[in-house]
Structure 1
Amino acid sequence: MSAERPPAKVGTGFASGGATTDNVDSWKTSFPCTRAEAEAIDAGEIAIDAVLMTTEEIEDDRERWRLDAYTETEPDAAMIAAFRALVPSAAAVAPVIEALTAEDWVAMSQEGLEPIAEGRFVVHTSAHPVSPPAGGRAFLIDAGRAFGTGHHATTSGCLKALDAMAARDFASIIDIGTGTGLLAFAAAHLWPEARIVATDIDPAAIDVTRENMTANGIAGIDLIVADGALDPAITAGAPYDLVIANVLAGPLVSMAPELAAIAAPRATILLAGLLETQRAQVVDAYSVCGCTLTGAEIRGDWTILTLTAGAERYVPTKPIDPKGRDGWALDI
């Protein structure tokens, strides 16, 4: 459980931790929220330059999550109101506002992130260096601007799934929503001769992946900023015989036709970021596109799915308009 911090007043130039406006690098505004609210948050809902992050404060407790909004400027009343509107359960709750220094960011990013091991892979931060197991690989992934340090059940579950596929042969691999690049790095270790593409809708995530490639001595992964799988740079490289997408259930459902369309016949499709309660809707969306569920692992409330594409390459029955993906939206 995250440690509780006393509330700080807005506009004083001070916040918990004793930072002053002279050395403040950014601001963090926090509200409690529920898991349902956390999953529904869309940064596009607010016209504020902010980074939004949600955290599970107590494992498997649906009501004990937290929204953290990071801004470069001290939050004013309008900002606070916009953040509060994202989490209706916190309508009567005073926000916790903290002024952060650059040193605070480093400390927060590494706090509590002990190395994790999945199969032949170990993932660690620079604060906790480790050696890889015999025949395995250690990845240095510092927490920061992108999702995917390996500590969340969805990412670690994908690492385990990839490790279990090691004896298979994949020549063309794509990681949709790559975050830190970790899953693409694992694929590169397992299939060094494969052509590997890593994409993300967030340019910052691609920058982070590029930095992590350098830090881990990895080369040869093609990096693409793209929304979904419709970008010409992605479709030109299709078909892929391993498609990885660790995002959220809603995008997984809405992107089912386009992910199926870039998959080779009998390709393996690894999906994560969905709750077990959302499994049926995700599986149904891919079944419509000729994909068959071949494996699933439940980790707490989360589920990692392995599917196999149809015997013939899927051709969408109608043109896919990324602006019209709402028609495929998850029913939650």
Structure 2
Amino acid sequence: MSADPVTWKLTLPCTKAEAEAVAAYDGEIDAVLITTEVDEAAGEWRLDAYFEGEPDAATLGQVRELAASGGWSTAMPEPLSDEDWVAISQQGLEPIREGRFVVHTSAHPGDAPDGGRAFLIDAGQAFGTGHHGTTSGCLAMLDRLAVEGERFANVIDLGTGTGLLAFAARHLWPEARVAATDIDPIAIDVTRENMAFNDVDQVALVVADGTRDPAIAQSAPYDLVIANILAGPLIAMAPEVAAIAAPGATIVLAGLLTNQAEKVVDAYAAQGASVRARNVRGDWTILCLTAAAERRSVGTDGSGRGDWAIDA
């Protein structure tokens, strides 16, 4: 007798605007949310929500609010077997190539070019397979920095997800000290597993809310700060990112929609940072900033973090 399914799926129609809002959503819904374009000409999109266990009415209501244009669809969640979930998570994840990097899943192997590096990152419980425009754009930005001859000695990847960007930094600057942090302990567990899969070593792993951990402060300042999160948290974290950045450090920011970019730029400009480069990928923008010539200070308890609100 087979075990009961643990993953449930709810599919709702939505608009492009709602899909963009879902991508920028930073609320607390106990679900994995994935949006897909169904018909470009008609502007039709789809929201798929995956739940660990059968969702309750309150959680379903939260998800339905994100796709309210569909007239509060009466579609109900359905259980998936473990095999169905693995198959869904791997669908369409062909290897991606960014500069010297290839990122692939177990189902779709890929080889790195000469002098490059391939990373096996399976879809799972943490964000960052490389297939999302923000993650692949960060890979391209890091590769560009290396091509331009940049050298870094102390690197931190805030909100590391799967660890991919920290691994890329480790490859590009093998003499550097590299740390990867995430607020979610599961993400750090996933990163640790991915380190083993990919024979990556000497990446320090820290569970932390932003930069608020003594280990992060003690290892500062960092000459390369990477944060692929969301626009709102990036804005709120601007003072503390500035506080751990070395004078003139490079800061790579992603997870923001293109129409949110100027608000993020303004938040970091207030900390003395300036824009060095942008990588626009459709609705998403990756920013490369240069930190202020002098370090800013902020309490290690995150007392420099402000409240934030941002319109998509």
Match of 1:174 in 2: 156
> 2:104·2:122 contact (CA, 8 Å) conserved in 1?
yes
For residues 282-311 of structure 1, the C-alpha deviation after alignment (integer angstroms, 9 at most, x for no partner) is: 100000001010111111111111000111
Task: Give 1:75 deviation, angstroms.
Answer: 3.4
Structure 2 counterpart of 1:38:
22
Alpha-carbon shift at residue 81 of structure 1 (Å):
2.7
Shift of 1:109: 1.7
CA RMSD of aligned residues (A): 2.4
Q: Is the 8 A contact 2:6 2:52 kept in 1?
A: no
Pick from 206, 218, 233 the counterpart of residue 188 of structure 2: 206
How much does 1:317 deviate?
10
Deviation sequence 1:164-218 (CA, Å, 0-9, x none): 1112110000001111100000000011111101011111111111110000011
- In 2, Cα distance between the equivalents of 1:210 and 1:318? 25
Matched residue SS, 1:147: coil
Q: Partners in 2 of 1:246 and 1:79 — Cα distance?
A: 26
Contact 1:57 1:66 in 2 (8 A): no
Aligned residue among 37, 55, 61 for 1:75: 55
On the 8 A contact 1:43/1:52 being kept in 2, the answer is no
Aligned match for 1:223, one of 205, 212, 220 = 205
Q: Which stretch shifts more, 132-141 or 80-89?
A: 80-89
1:282-301, aligned counterparts within 5 Å? Answer: 282-301=264-283
The structure-2 alpha-carbon separation of the partners of 1:69 and 1:126, relative to structure 1 and needing over 3 Å to count, comes to: closer
Give the structure 2 partner of residue 191 of structure 1.
173
AA aligned to 1:41 is Y
**Percent identity between the two aligned chains:** 57
In the alignment, structure 1 residue 281 sits paired with structure 2 residue 290: no
Counterparts of 1:278 and 1:158 in 2: how far apart (Å)?
17
Distance 1:306 1:78 in 2: 40
Match of residue 66 from structure 1: 47
Query: What secondary structure sits across from 2:219 in the alignment?
Result: coil
Cα distance in 2 for partners of 1:219, 1:60 equals: 43
Aligned with 2:140 (options 134, 149, 160): 160
**Residue aligned with 2:77, SS:** strand
2:125 to 142, 145, 148: 145
CA distance in 2, matches of 1:77, 1:320: 35
1:25 alignment partner in structure 2 = 6
Q: Comparing both chains, which one has the higher relative contact order based on Cα–Cα distances under 8 Å and sequence gaps of 6 or more?
A: 2
Q: Which runs of 5+ in 2 are unaligned?
A: none
Q: Which amino acid aligns with 2:270?
A: V
Higher alpha-carbon deviation: 220-229 or 51-60: 51-60
Match of 2:55, SS state, is coil
Comparing 176-185 with 80-89, greater Cα deviation is found at 80-89
Match for residue 16 of structure 1?
none
TM-score (norm 1): 0.85
Structure 1 unmatched runs, 5+ = 1-19
Partner SS state of residue 211, structure 1: helix
2:49 partner amino acid: D
2:37 to 32, 57, 67: 57
- 1:247-326 equivalences in 2 (<5 Å): 247-316=229-298, 320-321=302-303, 325-326=306-307
Distance 1:92 1:330 in 2: 25
> Contact 2:160/2:228 (CA < 8 Å) preserved in 1?
yes
Q: Distance in 2 between matches of 1:141 and 1:202?
A: 18
> Scaled by the length of structure 2, what TM-score is found?
0.90
Q: Distance in 2 between matches of 1:170 and 1:279?
A: 25
Report the Cα distance in structure 2 between the residues aligned to 1:86 and 1:288, rounded to whole angstroms.
Answer: 32
Aligned length: 306
1:86 Cα deviation (Å)? 4.2
For residues 32 and 201 of structure 1, what CA distance do their matches in structure 2 show? 31
The offset of 1:59, in angstroms, is 9.0
Classify the secondary structure of the residue corresponding to 2:205: strand
